[in-house]
Structure 1
Amino acid sequence: MKYTDESLNNKKILITGGAGFIGSNLAMYFQKFHPNAEVIVFDSFRSEKTFSNGNFKSLGHFKNLLDFNGEVIVGDITNKDDLARIDKIKFDYIFHEAAISDTTVIDQDAILRANVNAYKDLLEMSLRHGAKMIYASSAGTYGNTQAPNIVGQGEIPENVYGFSKLCMDKLTYKFLKENPEHIVGLRYFNVYGENELYKGKTASMILQLGIQALKNKKVRLFKMGEQKRDFVYVQDVVMANIKAISGKSGVYNVGSGESRSFNDIVKCLQNEFGEFEVEYFDNPYKFFQNHTHADIEPTKEALGYNPRYKLEDGIKEYAKSIKEIADKGEF
């Protein structure tokens, strides 16, 4: 579905992290609905490098871009030489999706360099280009504060990832004082959907539980499965990014506007895949967001964002992809 009537003909669009989950969905959206825009993907593709937790340092994967016809530039947002390469191109829009998004990484220096310092470098680049910056923030900025989650309230992150995103948002407010129509920050809640396979262990619980159900006829949940999150389908996240092109600058929540439990996910998956067993076990993590719920009223007003997918709708649409992944044994 096309989310804007604004002409993007001959516009140059940069997508950092464009080989990742959300970035690749954005790239394919532009290719389908705005074929006369020039889209350039910038990504540090998958290598053998891992964090101390064993997860890959880069989640970008070439298979997410097999149908992409635009230009691909390989680079690291923390590398000044790589940034200089794209700085030579004058962009109209920058969609900044690149980040260390693994919430279990404890290397604070690496996360803050990749998420905060690199964002500032890209912000300064966007000013030189006269490009509108649209970037990924996170519900991690709220930590475990009381829901509903409202921008400007209860922003007490409990891990360095959430802290890095809050730093980005604060930097945004600082820049907006002198450039009031320049930047839109989007605080993603729990995103799920196509092209998240290569996130591995950091993929959504919807994909992970779906694979468990299909492979084992059993899923495992933290006791007692009543933790609630705001799950948002990736196509609604794409919509928010596209709406931000002509939307008002600021920082906004991007969620479904509903809080649903992990047991609700189980029911939706059972509707698609048939009955399976549920095993409950103790949560081993010291930090875990027990309840998130995005206040999206400001997002609706400022961006014209109106999510199309309830949890049941999103899982129903995603079910075919989940089954294909399970059948191929890719996860």
Structure 2
Amino acid sequence: MRVLITGGAGFIGSNIAKSLQERYPSSKVYVLDDFSSGHFKNLLGFKGEVITGDIRDAELWDWITKEYEFDVVFHKAAITDTTITDQRLMMEVNAESFRHVLRAVLSWKAKLIYASSAGVYGNVPPPMREEGELKPENIYGFSKLVMDRIATNFMEKYPHIKVVGFRYFNVYGQGEAYKGKSASMIYQIYKKLVLGERPRLFKWGEQKRDFVYIKDVVKANMLALEKDVSGIFNVGTGTARSFNEIVEILSRELSIKTEVEYFDCPYDFYQKYTQADITRIKEYLGYTPDYTLEEGIKDYLKELSSCL
């Protein structure tokens, strides 16, 4: 099996690369990344080939298509900073580049597993359902919605090519540290606590998210690899938890007492409550999360504590 992972030096991509290496030791795994937000340290221990390039580059895709042949493509490359407001840049990187990926997949007759986002839902009433209302609050969410539409049209036109899109909810876990300010609130609060600083939350910390652990995200991707299925699916836990609860869990696990500093949210496009309906992914891929928020944080802290 020959596999290409775009954004393979990033958070989710690098975890998939290492998992494939472990589960399918005879496979050939290649990473494509421009290292604008991915980091080489995420690939320490990875034994495959790394291609450095920008997914917007049509000539790069022409070269890759002629030079290589892949059975599976995990497309995880994207701008993931939801605070970026440059609309053209976001659309070019996230949506327009996706057309290059699809052309390559078609030429190889390869399976495609790509990253969408819960950002497509905006502030519609939870739980969010794949067939429900889609009202993105920012250009990031809109770019992912356009990706889903491009993918849906592609699936209808080329039903023999298997395509799976994952609308990730709030992913956290090993490998996210290099995302900087885009890393999960779990990582951000952890850093504050171990540095002896007060966590800062938007008033009053009661906003809720469906936090999903990276190991469950990798599990979903492996199921998509193994199943003969096409479609767009939510990846979450099906449970929403508040930011105040994150502080409580981390404080308890780290045995650190703290007080939260609350401040006004500066964004007018903020999602206040996300919760995945995971009915479809359970039915079609057999996915159920292995980690509750408490279990995921506890497992994550083993690695974070070893890095101190």
TM range (shorter): over 0.9
Question: Residue by residue, what CA displacement relative to the aligned partner does 1:261-317 show, whole Å, maximum 9, x if unpaired?
Answer: 011111110121112222222212212110000000100111111110110000001
Name the aligned partner's letter for residue 174 of structure 2.
Answer: E
SS state of the match for residue 257, structure 1?
A: coil
Paired residue for 1:300, among 265, 282, 290? 282
1:8 corresponds to which residue? none
Does residue 34 of structure 1 match 2:24? yes
Q: 1:235 is matched with which residue?
A: 215
Residues 44-55 of structure 1: matches in 2 within 5 Å? 44-45=34-35
The question of whether the paired residues in 2 share the 8 Å contact of 1:76 and 1:83 is answered with no
* TM-score normalised by length of structure 2: 0.96
Match for residue 99 of structure 1? Answer: 78
* Number of matched pairs: 304
What CA deviation, in whole Å up to 9, does each residue of 1:110-158 have, x standing for no partner? 1111111111111111011010010000000001111110012120101
Residue pair 1:102, 1:202 contacting (<8 A) in 2 also:
yes
Runs of 4 or more off by more than 3 Å in structure 1? none
One-letter identity of the residue aligned with 1:102: D
Q: 1:86 aligns to what?
A: 64
Most deviating of 269-278 and 250-259: 269-278
3-state secondary structure, aligned to 1:252: strand
Candidates 235, 238, 242, aligned match of 1:257? 238
Q: Report the equivalent of 1:6.
A: none
Task: Give the letter for the 1:128 counterpart.
Answer: S
TM-score when scaled to structure 1? 0.90
* 2:10 corresponds to: 20
8 A Cα contact 2:137 2:271, kept in partner: no
- Structure-2 residue corresponding to 1:195: 175
Matching residue's letter, 1:22: I
Seen in structure 2, the aligned counterparts of structure 1 residues 211 and 183 have a Cα distance that, compared at 3 Å, is: same
- Alpha-carbon distance in structure 2 between the residues aligned to 1:29 and 1:319: 20
Q: Distance in 1 between matches of 2:108 and 2:254?
A: 49
Deviation at 1:321, TM superposition (A): 2.7
Q: Could you report, residue by residue, the CA deviation over 1:170-199 in whole angstroms, capped at 9, with x for unpaired residues? A: 111111112225210000000000000110
* More displaced stretch, 213-222 vs 164-173: 213-222
Q: Which residue of 1 aligns with 2:166?
A: 186
- Identity, in percent, stands at 52
Alignment partners' CA distance in 1, 2:80 and 2:198: 28
Give the drift of 1:324. Answer: 4.2
| Unmatched runs of 5 consecutive residues or more in structure 1 | 1-10, 46-57
Matched-pair contact (CA < 8 Å) for 2:203–2:262: yes
Match of 2:87 among 93, 108, 117: 108
Which runs of structure 2 are paired with 1:112-131 in the superposition (5 Å)?
Answer: 112-131=91-110
Determine if the alignment matches structure 1 residue 248 to structure 2 residue 238.
Answer: no
Distance 1:322 1:144 in 2: 32
**SS of match in other structure, 2:157:** coil
2:264 is equivalent to residue 282 of structure 1: yes
SS at match of 2:99: helix
Counterpart of 2:117 in structure 1 is: 138
Please name the residue that 1:272 is paired with.
253
